[in-house]
Amino acid sequence: MPEKPDDGRTLTYIAAISEALREEMRRDPDVLLLGEDIGGEFGGAFKVTRGFEAEFGARRVMNTPLAELGFTGMAAGMALMGLRPVVELQFADFISSAMDSIVQFAASAHYRWGGAVPMVVRAPSDGGLRAGPFHSQNQEAWFVHVPGLKVVAPATPADAKGLLLSAIRDNNPVIYFESKPLYRTLKGHVPAGDYSVPIGRAHLARTGDDLSIITYGAELHQALAAAARLAEEDIQCDVLDLRTLKPLDEEAILSSVRKTSKVLVVHAANQLAGLGGEVAGLIAERAFEWLDGPVRRLGGLDTPVPFSPPLEDAYRPDAEKIYQAARSLARY
How many positions of this chain bind another protein (CB under 8 A)? 41
| 3-class state of residue 62 by DSSP | strand
**Span from 35-43, 75-83, 205-213, 309-317 in contact with another protein (CB under 8 A):** 75-83
Q: Are strands 120-125 and 84-88 parallel, antiparallel or unpaired?
A: parallel
Taking the C-alpha atoms of residue 204 and residue 211, their distance in angstroms, rounded to an integer, is 13
The residue from 110, 135, 189, 221 that is catalytic is 135
Q: Per CB under 8 A, does 200 bind another protein?
A: no
| 3-class state of residue 244 by DSSP | strand
Q: Per CB under 8 A, does 169 bind another protein?
A: no
Packing angle of the helix pair 275-286, 250-260 (nearest 10 deg): 60
Closest CB to another protein among 84 and 297? Answer: 84
User: In this structure, are residues 68 and 59 in contact, taking their beta carbons and an 8 Å threshold?
Assistant: no
Helix (H) or strand (E) holding 167, with range, is helix 157-169
129-154 burial code (b ≥16 CB/10 A, e <16): eebeeebbbbbbbbbbebebbbbbbb
Q: Per CB under 8 A, does 185 bind another protein?
A: no
Q: Per CB under 8 A, does 55 bind another protein?
A: no
158-190 burial code (b ≥16 CB/10 A, e <16): bbbbbbbbbbbbbebbbbbbbbbbbbeebbbbb
What are residue 33's DSSP bridge partners?
A: 61, 86
**Span from 57-65, 186-194, 230-238, 322-330 in contact with another protein (CB under 8 A):** 57-65
Closest CB to another protein among 117 and 223? Answer: 117
User: For another protein, which residue of 11, 25, 38, 79 counts as binding (CB under 8 A)?
Assistant: 79
**Does residue 135 carry a catalytic annotation?**
yes
Minimum CB separation from another protein for residue 47, in Å? 24
User: For another protein, which residue of 2, 81, 193, 194 counts as binding (CB under 8 A)?
Assistant: 81
Minimum CB separation from another protein for residue 88, in Å? 16
Q: Per CB under 8 A, does 80 bind another protein?
A: yes
Taking the C-alpha atoms of residue 33 and residue 24, their distance in angstroms, rounded to an integer, is 11
Backbone angles phi, psi at 63, to 5 degrees: -75, 125
Q: Are strands 211-215 and 237-241 parallel, antiparallel or unpaired?
A: parallel
Q: Per CB under 8 A, does 71 bind another protein?
A: yes
User: For another protein, which residue of 105, 142, 177, 315 counts as binding (CB under 8 A)?
Assistant: 105
Taking the C-alpha atoms of residue 317 and residue 331, their distance in angstroms, rounded to an integer, is 20
Q: Per CB under 8 A, does 32 bind another protein?
A: yes
Q: Per CB under 8 A, does 40 bind another protein?
A: no
User: For another protein, which residue of 35, 73, 157, 274 counts as binding (CB under 8 A)?
Assistant: 73
User: For another protein, which residue of 2, 3, 113, 193 counts as binding (CB under 8 A)?
Assistant: 113
User: For another protein, which residue of 40, 51, 115, 293 counts as binding (CB under 8 A)?
Assistant: 115
Q: Per CB under 8 A, does 150 bind another protein?
A: yes
Minimum CB separation from another protein for residue 175, in Å? 14
**Span from 5-13, 46-54, 112-120, 231-239 in contact with another protein (CB under 8 A):** 112-120
Taking the C-alpha atoms of residue 222 and residue 298, their distance in angstroms, rounded to an integer, is 12
Count of CA atoms in the C-beta half-sphere (13 A) of 245? 32
Residues at the interface with another protein (CB under 8 A) = 32, 59-60, 62, 64-65, 67, 69-83, 100-101, 104-105, 109-118, 147-148, 150, 171-172
What amino acid positions are annotated as catalytic residues?
A: 135
